[in-house]
């Protein structure tokens, strides 16, 4: 079974910002730049739905896993940021495991991931996941071919077991072009606010574009199955990728809006009232530099 590609909407004969469509590439019209105001309006609508999903997950004791995979700079962190921006950290939890230390290496490969699985009423987002074995570990030779083959032979079975236990498992591959990846990596080098994002691993991986492509192809072919299919999210356009990514996540969870009565603030008691303004002569205030 081949991975299912979530295509952007075909409508929008007129771009949201009123500009003409972009130039044609390979016979297809490139969407024009998405207006920031439109982006923020659509993002807010989707974030409201994420709040509804959150309440449904809490009330039903559901467990959801979202796997985000893709090359360096594909936009995983940006998508996670907008997913988590308006929801509770007690419900939505991000897992981004570092390279295992020596004591961790003694564990079964899947063990360190299973330990991070959601409890009832929780959504866990994996910023890279067990698919490290099929990607970076394979390309950079951290795992041998026998280990990779064993993983690809068994991962679908493992995921069927996970979903049969009632976990909703959503798998997204963020697809970025070679040219856009290089542009983003160079921007990280030049921008002091983003230099921390550039790791030695990124530099080791950069020359191995086609090795990663082959690893991606093998991974999608071996691990796309009905219980947890792969969906490819084009991510050259960050704004569209974020909107399409959240929309897709919402479409994969069978949530419904939980109705609540709006709370009313109680009246404040006047008992014991006094002038409670802090005295600047007695306490230290942060200097007002701005």
pLDDT of residue 255 exceeding 50: yes
Place 149 in a pLDDT band, splitting at 50, 70 and 90.
Answer: very high
pTM of the model: 0.86
- Tokens encoding 139: 């390309």
Q: What pLDDT, on a 0 to 100 scale, did the predictor assign at position 1?
A: 47
Residue with tokens 């044609």: 24
- Tokens encoding 12: 């929008």
Question: Each residue of 92-105: pLDDT tens digit?
Answer: 999 999 876 655 66
By the 8 A CB rule, do 91 and 51 touch?
Answer: no
By the 8 A CB rule, do 69 and 130 touch?
Answer: no
Place 145 in a pLDDT band, splitting at 50, 70 and 90.
Answer: very high
| Helical axes 238-252 vs 76-84, angle rounded to 10° | 60
Q: What kind and span of H or E run contains 64?
A: strand 63-70
pLDDT of residue 15 exceeding 80: no
| Whole-angstrom distance, CA of residue 67 vs CA of residue 36 | 27
| Whole-angstrom distance, CA of residue 76 vs CA of residue 98 | 16
By the 8 A CB rule, do 86 and 47 touch?
Answer: yes
CATH 3.40.50.300 at 39-252, yes or no: yes
| Whole-angstrom distance, CA of residue 239 vs CA of residue 82 | 10
- Where b means 16+ CB within 10 Å and e means fewer, 207-219 reads eeeeebeebbebb
Question: Each residue of 50-68: pLDDT tens digit?
Answer: 999 999 999 999 999 999 9
Domain boundaries, the chain: 39-252
pLDDT (mean) for 233-247: 98
Residue 257 CB: number of other CB atoms within 10 A? Answer: 12
Place 198 in a pLDDT band, splitting at 50, 70 and 90.
Answer: confident
Residue with tokens 């919402």: 250
Which DSSP symbol is given to 254? Answer: -
Average pLDDT, the chain: 90
């Amino acid at each position: 079974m081949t991975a299912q590609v979530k295509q952007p909407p075909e409508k929008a004969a007129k771009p949201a910002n009123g500009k003409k469509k972009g130039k044609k590439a390979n016979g297809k019209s490139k969407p024009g730049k998405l207006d920031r105001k439109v982006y923020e309006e659509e993002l807010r609508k989707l974030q409201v739905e994420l709040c509804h999903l959150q309440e449904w997950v809490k009330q039903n004791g559901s467990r959801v896993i979202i796997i985000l995979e893709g090359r360096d700079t594909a936009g995983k962190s940006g998508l996670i940021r907008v997913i988590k921006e308006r929801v509770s950290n007690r419900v939505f939890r991000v897992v981004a495991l570092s390279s295992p230390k020596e004591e961790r290496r003694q564990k079964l490969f899947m063990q360190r991931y299973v330990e991070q699985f959601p409890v009832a009423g929780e959504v866990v987002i994996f910023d890279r996941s067990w698919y490290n074995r099929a990607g970076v570990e394979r390309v950079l030779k951290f795992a041998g071919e026998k280990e990779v083959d064993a993983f690809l032979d068994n991962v679908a079975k493992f995921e069927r077991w996970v979903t049969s236990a009632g976990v909703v498992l959503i798998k997204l591959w963020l697809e970025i072009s070679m040219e856009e990846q290089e542009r983003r990596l160079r921007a990280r080098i030049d921008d002091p606010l983003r230099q921390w994002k550039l790791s030695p691993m990124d530099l080791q991986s950069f020359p191995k574009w086609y090795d990663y492509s082959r690893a991606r192809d093998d991974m999608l072919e071996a691990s796309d199955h009905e219980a947890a299919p792969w969906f490819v999210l084009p991510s050259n356009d960050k704004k569209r990728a974020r909107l399409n990514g959240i929309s897709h996540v919402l479409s994969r969870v069978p949530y419904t809006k939980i109705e609540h009565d709006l709370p009313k603030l109680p009246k404040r008691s006047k008992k014991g009232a006094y002038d409670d303004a802090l005295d600047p002569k007695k306490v230290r205030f942060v200097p007002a530099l701005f």
